[in-house]
Amino acid sequence: MTPSARASLRSAPPIWAMAPGLRRLATRQGAAPRLAPTWPCHQLDDPSPAGYAAQLASCAGALAGVEEVAAPLSAAGRAFALDDLHAMGQPEAFVFAPVWLIIRLDGSLHLTLRPEWAQKVAAKGWGTVHPFARYMAGAVPPQSLVIYTPRDSHELAVVARIIAAAHCYASGRIGEVALPDSRW
């Protein structure tokens, strides 16, 4: 191996530095939709086409260790939890343990991501820090996000990748690699 190849391997970021589906994240086009200022902070405009929320639920339900459960705290929508074998992420990886994802009736999502992942998703315009993370600092982790509703099939595919990244965070691993501070 050449010295430049060795240097390249040493300087490569660890696999967990960015979830695979977020590495080449495109920027969401258009202005951010408005969110209601009251719980559960639904998206007020720019809705998804009919059936997109069901497609996202199908995507989430197909991931390892996932089961659909009643939504916590009377949130309207479909909630997804991890079974005990798979729920190995940090406590902050869950909306309300063991629930890691809520797909709201409007097609927007409530989920959490590793802080550096959340920062990228928000910077690219796919979502924002959940308003309650701002209002109730400390009670809701700052990596708690509202992901905007997908407006077309391209955006649907991107939001499905964000769901997969949230699943990695909640399960505490990317493939066979355990994330730092996970319970593996």
Are the CB atoms for 11 and 47 separated by under 8 Å? no
Q: Tens of pLDDT along 56-82?
A: 999 999 999 999 999 998 788 999 999
Rg (CA), the chain: 17
The pLDDT confidence band at residue 10, using thresholds 50, 70 and 90, is low
pLDDT for the residue 42: 83
Domain ranges of the chain: 17-178
Structure tokens at 82: 């991890």
DSSP, res 16: G
Q: Tens of pLDDT along 132-147?
A: 666 556 656 668 899 9
Q: Tens of pLDDT along 23-59?
A: 999 999 999 999 888 777 789 999 899 999 999 999 9
Q: Which residues contact 29 (CB under 8 A, 6 or more apart)?
A: 125
Are the CB atoms for 173 and 179 separated by under 8 Å? yes
E strands, the chain, in order? 66-69, 77-82, 99-104, 109-112, 127-129, 144-147, 173-174, 177-178
